[in-house]
Amino acid sequence: MPSQNLLRGAGALLLSCAALPVLAQDYTITVWAGGTGDDSNYRMDAIDMAADILEREAAIRGEELSITVESQAWSGWDDFKQAFSLASEAGNAPDLIVSGHEDIGPWSEAGLIVPIEDYVYFDTWPLSSIYPNLIEVASFNGQIWGIPQDAEARVMFWSIPALEAIGWSEDEIASLPDLILNGEFTLYDMLDALKAMQDEGVLEPGMAFGPRVSNGPDYWQFYQAFGGEMADPETGKLVLDTEALTGMYQFFVDAVEMGVVSSTHLGMEWDAWHQNAAAGSYGAWHGGTWHYAQWTNQFGLEDFFGTVEYTLIPAGDENGRANSITHPLVYLLTAAAPEEEAAIAAELVAIASEPRINALHAVKSAHLGISEEETLVPLYAENRWLTAASERLAPHTNAIPNNPDFGTYWTAMYEGLEASWTGVTSVEDAVAEVEASVTQALGDDVIVR
């Protein structure tokens, strides 16, 4: 439900499709999207489509409305976030930002964004049909700040030919997802299988395991795999579980010592990693559901379902669980948007969230839908990968917290992972350094276990 403060200032537009200006009006709505490549153009194009619909609805009412959408995309995140910060400081930020949900905490506290619930109704269609857990991900401190643009799951992928080469039957491969879900096949069982692939000469030395090559939410899955919790559900405080962090770091150190991944793997060029994944050069690798589109459209993977199995990230030990992290991108309304532009921009996002429009983005980019209605759209329903991922992976996902201090913890976690992985420090020292860094920065705002 939206807050009672439905208007931010005198003269603001009412919140409904019917609440459009009577006089001829021209608006320019600016949209910036981070982490956006060729397959993700509908993050911006959907706003264009929504503008056309809003103009046509206005025309039927006898009103003149002209909306120009100006959009800009960044493939990377660092440059995008720096550009937004600088634009905000200079007073020329865009009206809409498409970014990761974890930015809601720090950007809301910095006054860079405003609650989108002040401009749209979440109890009317199409926003009422969005999965409740995605609305929770877009919320912070009791307010809804964004509208989910997509969803995803992070996946462990497996080479079917490599598994077959070490004696796995078709039935055994087909049973792997359930074995992992039930905790009967762990990360260390995976390392044993990968070592066997290399010992049999199926894969090149140091190539059996292909983890993500840079920092990202994916690595929190391995922390959870060893029983780690990112935030306390009762207090909202961040949680640093040193035992889980030790298990996570030790797993990657063990993978290096077994020879299934290189100590210099982190920092590999992404295109090289994608090429290896698509060519079946890894025995197992972890990535996102959206990578399916890249591998099949850009990197020559022709028979995905015949050559690739897909599962949750396995549990690391008896304290952990199989899991997947979802990292929805969200439309955020910036504080820089003038009042009438803000109302128009929010309405455009609501229209862009309609199932048929959002399905265009989901199918082209291989992201998961934001509502159950979207899964019924023929374009989506006919897509084997999205349907399969929605059924097998999506129900078991969770998200990193929107806590504004999480970035400090995240940075320390990855630095510790990198230091132990590359042998710069021991696992014990890496964990100790993370604890010292995080507690010094956050004090009582982090719970250490």
Kindly tell me if the per-residue pLDDT of 351 is higher than 80.
yes
Q: Which amino acid, one-letter code, is at 248?
A: M
Kindly tell me if the per-residue pLDDT of 272 is higher than 50.
yes
pLDDT on residue 23 = 53
pLDDT on residue 3 = 42
Token match 């709505």: residue? Answer: 29
Average pLDDT, the chain: 94
Sign of CA dihedral 409, 412, 418, 424: negative
Q: Are 218 and 323 in contact (CB under 8 A)?
A: no
Tell which residue, 264, 314, 345, has the closest CA to residue 69: 345
pLDDT on residue 14 = 38
For residue range 85-142, what is the model confidence (pLDDT) as tens digits?
999 999 999 999 999 999 999 999 999 999 999 999 999 999 999 999 999 999 999 9
Task: Order the strands of the 154-159 sheet from edge to edge.
Answer: 209-210, 284-288, 154-159, 308-311
Widest Cα–Cα separation across the chain: 75
For residue range 278-318, what is the model confidence (pLDDT) as tens digits?
999 999 999 999 999 999 999 999 999 999 999 999 999 99
DSSP 352: H
Q: Are 144 and 116 in contact (CB under 8 A)?
A: yes
pLDDT on residue 53 = 98
Task: Give me the mean pLDDT over the 217-228 stretch.
Answer: 98
Sign of CA dihedral 271, 274, 275, 276: positive
Task: Give me the mean pLDDT over the 319-327 stretch.
Answer: 96
* 369 sits in which H/E element: none
The pTM for the full model equals 0.89
For residue range 369-402, what is the model confidence (pLDDT) as tens digits?
999 999 999 999 999 999 999 999 999 999 999 9
Q: Which domains does the chain have, with CATH numbers?
A: 25-151+327-399 (3.40.190.10), 154-326+404-448 (3.40.190.10)
